Structure 1
């Protein structure tokens, strides 16, 4: 599927605020509401737009600490990976799980109320997961969101 300038403008606008109506987006882009809606549907059907998500402020919900963990499995193999992935998805403090190539096998984003709460999650939940070997932690100090590959026109 080839994308034109209006498609990219629509994607930039949606990536800034996915809750905008087709009418509001159309007014911003100089399109009618039905034309905007058709473009959105076409982008969804092509798999370019894969969903819209709600972003929550973890700190305002009482989770003031975010830690990125690099996890190296002690043993590798299909079953080890599947066992680890199945077990780690059951931990509610783990916000994202990324299977990566490099020094570690997985990168986890973990939220906690404070450092002592994180220590509890680490000791009682993460370190007891099947196959866990080495774990490296990086505490998030600040988070600056970038516009992504669509950036500025």
Structure 2
């Protein structure tokens, strides 16, 4: 699908505030509500716009620690990647599961109430997953830029 400047403008506004209505978007961009609505539907149908997310502030919800884990599977042949992904996705403290190329096989974003809570999640839930070998933890100190427009 070829995106024009108006499509890109719609995506830019929606990445900043996904609650904007087609009417509000149209006013911002100089389009009618029906024209804006048709463009949004076309972007959704083409798979460019796949949904809208609610972003929660983990710290305000009591999760003061975020840790990125690099996980290397110990036995790739004995445990399927799908089995590991299914098991790790069932742990609510794990926010993202990314299959990556490099030193580790997976990169996980884990939230916890504090370091003691993280240690509990790591020991009792993550280290007991099928196929887990080496694990490296990196504690998030600050986040300068959240994911947004490409």
TM-score range, shorter chain: over 0.9
Q: How many residues align?
A: 149
> SS where residue 101 of structure 1 aligns?
coil
Structure 2: gaps (5+ residues): none
Q: Aligned partners of 2:128, 2:113: CA distance in 1, in Å?
A: 20
Aligned-residue CA RMSD in angstroms? 1.2
**TM-score, normalised on structure 2?**
0.95
**Runs of 4+ off more than 4 Å:** none
**TM-score, normalised on structure 1?**
0.94
- 1:60 counterpart = 2:60: yes
* TM-superposed deviation, 1:51: 0.5
Q: Aligned partners of 2:78, 2:58: CA distance in 1, in Å?
A: 33
Who is 2:20 aligned against?
20
> SS where residue 72 of structure 1 aligns?
strand
Q: Aligned partners of 2:32, 2:97: CA distance in 1, in Å?
A: 40
> SS where residue 87 of structure 1 aligns?
helix
Who is 1:119 aligned against?
119
Structure 1: gaps (5+ residues): none
Deviations 1:92-132 (A, max 9, x none): 10011001111000000000000000000001110111100
Q: Aligned partners of 1:103, 1:118: CA distance in 2, in Å?
A: 23
